Amino acid sequence: MVHIASHFVFRPGDGQKSYLLLAGKESAGTGYALTQADFSSNPNLDMSDTELLTLSACETGLTGSARNGIEVDGLGTTAQLKGAKAVKSSLWEVNDSSTGELMAGFYHRWASGEGKVSKAAALREAQLDLLLGKVKPRADSSAGGLGFSNPDAPAGFAHPYYWAPFILMGNWQ
């Protein structure tokens, strides 16, 4: 199992400008942008022994083409093509606070299920916790984003922006 909580930039049609921000490649403390093109073409980045790859950064599940028709697979799709049995990725920009809560709920259910709780069921239940208000933003966190700092915005994490961006591809069990 691999979980990458980072920052991803998706540029449809351009695998050199779509990148995952990681820790320093050569030295600690410096950022390194692993481009989608590098991830796709590097034979050393084999995922065939990965039961679940979670990409909890923004837009890691998107795939798209530029106006010139050049298509670029999303990071999640590329991970599957490289052998990951299951990939959990996002379809839009995500909120740090709600994503952390969602992931904690998912892993708690999946790991404590002792093989009896599928990944799909664990994700669904974690999403329901946010939707139904069982998990609320902490007082010190910002549940804002995409204009939800408005006092008339839905309280807590009930809005789909917070719980719905993540999809599970591949082996759902």
pLDDT per residue as tens digits for the range 73-118: 789 999 999 999 999 999 999 999 999 999 999 999 999 987 799 9
pLDDT of the residue at 73:
77
pLDDT of the residue at 140:
59
pLDDT of the residue at 150:
41
Exposure class string for 59-75: b at 16+ Cβ within 10 A, else e: bbbbeeeeeeeeebbbb
pLDDT of the residue at 14:
81
Number of domains in the chain: 1
Q: Are 151 and 131 in contact (CB under 8 A)?
A: no
pLDDT of the residue at 90:
95
- Most confident by average pLDDT, 91-95, 124-128, 143-147: 124-128
Q: What is the pLDDT of residues 20-77, one digit of tens each?
A: 998 877 776 678 899 999 999 999 999 999 999 999 999 999 887 666 666 667 899 9
| pTM, rounded to two decimals | 0.84
152 pLDDT above the threshold of 80: no
Q: What is the pLDDT of residues 7-18, one digit of tens each?
A: 999 888 788 888
Q: Which domain holds residue 75?
A: 2-170
Residue that has been written with the tokens 């719980």 in this structure = 163
